[in-house]
Every structure is written in C-alpha cells, then in structure tokens.
Amino acid sequence: MASVELTGLFKQYGATPVVRGVSLRVEPGSLLALLGPSGCGKTTTLRLIAGLETPDAGTIAIGERLVSDGAQHVAPEKRGLGMVFQSYAVWPHKSVEQNVAYPLQLQKRSREEISQRVSEALGWVRLTGLGGRLPQQLSGGQLQRVALARALVAKPGVLLLDEPLSNLDLALREELRGEIAALRARLGITMILVTHDQSEALALADTVAVMNGGRIEQLAAPEVFYRAPATPFVAGFVGGANLLEGRAEGGFFHWRESRFTLPAEVSTANAEGVLAVRPEDFLVTLGQGGGEPELTLSARLFAGQQVEYRFMVGEAVLRCMGPPLAVSPGAKVRVSIARALFFAR
C-alpha cells in the first residue's frame, strides 16, 4: 500500500491546457475515482501519475517518494505501480501465464517464484486452470481478468485502472465491478480508477474527484455528491439532475414560460440562478388545477417499477421519474417539484 499525492499539477498539449492545477491525496489502501466526461483531463491525470506523461508543472509523490517535480521524472517501471488499460493490452501470441508472468520476468525473478506468483494471481481473478490458453480463446471478461492479474502479480503499491470495464457488456461490467471491490478488500491495495460511469465510481470509490475542463469541481465521498453537489455541473453529471436556468422569487421558480412552487429548503431564495432537480424529485400527476404547470408529454419510457416521463419545453428536455400513469405522449401532465438545490448566479 502506498499513498499518492498530487500538488498543483498542470499539463497542456500545444496551446491547449488539459490538466489545470490538480491537487489531491489518495490515502494508502483507499480507492479514488477520477470521474468526468470525455476530455475533462482524467485519463491525462492518470497517465501523469503512471509516468507515461511528464507534467509541465506540479509534483507527484508515491508513498514517501517524489517521482516528478520538474527537476526529475522517475520512469514508469520504477514507480512501483500496476496499470490496467481500457484495451486490455495483452499479447495475442503469448499464453495467459506468459502474459501474467511478464512483469516478474522484467524483474528477473526466479522461475520458481514466477510460477508460484502467477498461479496465485490467476487464483485472485478466478482464472485458475486457464493459464495455457491464448487470448483469442478467452471472453472479454476473461481478458480483463488477465490484465488485472498481470497488473497485480508484481504486488504494486498502487493499481491504476483506466476505464477497465468500458468495453464489456452490462452483465460483465457488474460482475467485474464486484470482483474489483473484492480484490481490493482482499489485497488492501491503493487504487485509482478513471471512469465516465457515475454508478461505477459511486459503487467502488471511497473518494470521487469529479473533473471538468481539466480541474476538479468537487472532491468528496460518494454519498456527499448525491446529498450536496458543489456546483450545477456536479449535480447534473453525478445525479443526472435537470438544470433549470431562471429566477427564484417569492417562493416560486420562473423557468421559461412555467412557474414552479419551490420546495421548503429553497423557498427563501431570491435571485437568478440554476435550480437542480433530479428526475426522481419531480412529482408527475394527472388532473386539473393545483397551480403547478401542465406540460405536454413527449415520451413515456418504461423503467420497471417507475416510468421516465420526458417533456420538451422549447429546446430543453425535462426528465422526470415517477409511478406508472395511464397517459400517452401528447397529453397534458401536471409537474411539480418535491426537492431541489438552488445555485445562485
């Protein structure tokens, strides 16, 4: 186990800044998720930690060791890290055992030690008995397990995971998500996970760094993001909130041509700003009166015990979740707000 600490990290390509002043600390044995949309800087941050890229400014420390500070740049293979890539990156001409053994061969370990540790690593990822197979004889989930075993076999202090589940189908993603959590509990290894999947980040991480435009918008425990997102971007990206730009005044929120009654927690707001409302925090009802806006339903999407209702309001799409109602697209439906967060401009 090792800690990872980034201080004032900057990286740009040409005139384009990609990582802008990122500072954070990953405690030994914990899992940090770098979460954000494509192009937000999360993968570049991971590659800087790995030593695959050199920062333009800032420092990187792994454990008590400074591995990058402008004056020095420790090579990737000397940082004591393991890394799992999105593309698996296994050699097609080598067997499972040969792929997993490669890091130990680079360290010039004895044949006996390599055999014992490869067998142990394959056991960790439930590939015992498949060591003689070639990659083309394996499923996508098995290939990702090979990549995990290879990253873990040298017992690194930190494991870096670059969107390791994005190439898998939903069932395999859920299965391997559980296995990563179990491996972490068993081995106690520090992990840094890059993902654009909020459910993956919230399920696995102790701490999540939500990135946007090369910066960290919020760094917190997963449950904090749902309860108290720091910015409209975080509310929209992590909680899937509808972001309504308008004015709060006199206990109401004026959005486009509609006027919603504000819930008690934000009823005293009086300012221009953004009201963040998660789909499940709308109330969708039928019937006349009540004072809340009646919107024209544009789509009704079945989602098990609940239904997603979509409304086109000008060019904006309003997404609401609620119990099944006997209503079809084109009908008028009353929409009110049960809970919300207000971000004054």
For residues 190 and 159, state if they share a domain.
yes
Determine contact, residues 165/200, Cβ cutoff 8 Å: yes
Q: Band of the pLDDT at 303, cuts 50, 70, 90?
A: confident
Reduce the DSSP state of residue 185 to 3 states and report it.
helix
Which helix (H) or strand (E) segment is 32 a member of? strand 31-35
Q: Could you say which DSSP state residue 66 is in?
A: E
Domain identity same for 224 and 189: yes
What's the domain count of the chain? 2
Q: Rounded CA gap, 217 and 249, in Å?
A: 28
Which has the higher per-residue pLDDT, 291 or 217?
Answer: 217
Q: What is the CATH number of the domain that holds 24?
A: 3.40.50.300
User: Which tens digit of pLDDT belongs to each residue from 230-262?
Assistant: 999 999 998 889 999 999 999 999 999 899 999
User: pLDDT per residue over 158-211, tens digit each?
Assistant: 999 998 887 777 777 888 888 888 888 888 899 999 999 888 899 899 999 999
3-state secondary structure of 285: strand
What is the average pLDDT score of the chain?
A: 92
Query: Does residue 290 have a pLDDT over 80?
Result: no
User: Which of 182, 202, 232 corresponds to the end of one domain?
Assistant: 232
Boundary of a domain, candidates 205, 232, 259: 232
Report the candidate in 319, 316, 285 with the shortest Cα–Cα distance to residue 303: 319
Tell whether 227 and 255 lie within a shared domain: no
Give the residue from 232, 257, 278 where a domain finishes: 232
DSSP secondary-structure letter at 326? S
pTM: 0.88
Q: What is the pLDDT at residue 286?
A: 87
> What pLDDT, on the 0 to 100 scale, is given for residue 289?
63
Range of the domain at 302: 241-344
Same domain flag for 20 and 49: yes
How confident is the model over 208-217, as a mean pLDDT? 96
Across the strands, what pairs with 31?
191
CA atoms within 13 A on the CB side of 159: 26
Q: How far is the C-alpha of 339 from the C-alpha of 258, rounded, in Å?
A: 17
Average pLDDT over every residue of 35-56:
95
Distance between CA atoms of residues 104 and 114, nearest Å: 6
Same-domain pairing of 144 and 167: yes
Q: How far is CA 164 from the centre of its chain?
A: 11
- Find out whether 94 and 111 touch, Cβ atoms under 8 Å: no
Looking at the structure, do residues 257 and 219 belong to the same domain, yes or no?
A: no
Q: Coil, strand, or helix at residue 94?
A: coil
CATH of residue 261's domain is 2.40.50.140
| 189 Cα distance to chain centroid | 19
Q: What is the pLDDT of residue 170?
A: 78
221 or 1, which is more confident:
221
CB atoms within 10 A of CB 228: 12
Q: Are residues 148 and 297 in the same domain?
A: no
142 in the same domain as 176: yes
Name which of 118-122, 148-152, 225-229, 296-300 the model is least confident about. 225-229
Mark whether 228 and 246 lie in a shared domain: no
Q: Can you read off the two tokens belonging to residue 175?
A: 């299965």
pLDDT > 90? residue 106: no
The pLDDT value recorded for residue 278 is: 95
Q: Are residues 59 and 193 in the same domain?
A: yes
Taking alpha carbons only, the member of 164, 159, 188 closest to residue 176 is: 164
Place of tokens 């570049």: 44
Residues β-bridged to residue 6: 24, 60
- Residue partners of 296: CB distance under 8 A and separation at least 6: 311, 312, 330, 331, 332, 333
Rounded-to-integer distance, Cα 160 and Cα 41, Å = 15
What letter represents residue 70's amino acid? G
pLDDT at 288 over 80: no
If asked whether residues 226 and 312 sit together in one domain, one would say no
My answer on whether 190 and 257 are in the same domain is no
SS (HEC) of 119-183: HHHHHHCCCCCCCCCCHHHCCHHHHHHHHHHHHHCCCCCEEEEECCCCCCCHHHHHHHHHHHHHH
